[in-house]
Structure 1
Amino acid sequence: MADLHLELVTPEKLVMSEDVYMVVVPGTEGQSGIMAGHAPFMTVLKDGDEVAVYRTAGSQPEKIPVSGGFAEMSANGLTILAEKAGA
């Protein structure tokens, strides 16, 4: 399966822009696992939770704390716009 392009952005900087296997997004309505080919999708991020980035199948996730913002899945990949991201 093709990789999913992820962009994690805050007002201050581009935190991450790369192709990954899967991302688990903490939405206000629950967590969503997003992989390449996922249907168009948008959610408000759950404040104070973590985005889990799986770089390859079966790998341990890299967890990135996020506050505020939203995530959108489109034909271009997954874009997460957060007020704050990282430690």
Structure 2
Amino acid sequence: MADPEKLFRVNVVTPDGLIYSHRSSIIDMRAVDGQRAIMYNHTPILTPLSIGDVKVKRSREMSNKVDHIAVNGGYIEFSNNTATVIADSAERARNIDVSRAEAAKKRAEQHMKEAREKHDTRSFERAEIALKRATNRISVYNSRK
């Protein structure tokens, strides 16, 4: 008899509460020091995340079922076969309002242009982060199936 599939729990939490909770065979995300993937029985880890797409593969049998979640930084902690992503904000691909994200992208680009003209480094950096967040949301939305 074949071994049952080994799955672990993935939870994504923001200040607004739990936004995602499912069992997974693998989770893939961008940490500040590079791409990371976690599977069942991974060594405990706590690492900061970059703005990016957290991909949760639900099971091996459902090989094409991957949930995409846009996160704006935060941390991932894995222990006892539970992965917990803690982020200031996170959105499942299916919940992203792409027109709102595109408007945020245009605003950020405009703020970057204005900050560059005024030589305002701090405002430029804030607008650059807003642009990365908006671009990430658009990219995650487009990656959904």
TM norm structure 1: 0.89
Unaligned runs of 5+ in 1: none
RMSD: 1.3
Q: Give the paired residue count.
A: 86
Answer 1 or 2: which has greater strand percent: 1
Q: Given that residues 22 and 34 in structure 1 are in contact (C-alpha distance below 8 angstroms), is that contact kept between their aligned partners in structure 2?
A: yes
**In structure 1, what is the equivalent of residue 123 of structure 2?**
none
- Provide the C-alpha distance between the structure 1 equivalents of 2:69 and 2:25, rounded to a whole number of angstroms: 16
Deviation at 1:76, TM superposition (A): 4.6
After superposing on structure 2, the runs of 4+ consecutive aligned residues of structure 1 that deviate more than 3 Å are: none
Q: Given that residues 46 and 76 in structure 2 are in contact (C-alpha distance below 8 angstroms), is that contact kept between their aligned partners in structure 1?
A: yes
**In structure 2, what is the equivalent of residue 35 of structure 1?**
39
- Provide the C-alpha distance between the structure 2 equivalents of 1:14 and 1:67, rounded to a whole number of angstroms: 15
Note the alpha carbon deviations across 1:33-76, whole angstroms, 9 max, x for none. Answer: 111100011111102x1100101123242211100210011115
Residue 55 (structure 1) aligned with residue 52 (structure 2): no
What's the % identity of the aligned pairs? Answer: 30
Unaligned runs of 5+ in 2: 97-145
Answer 1 or 2: which has greater helix percent: 2
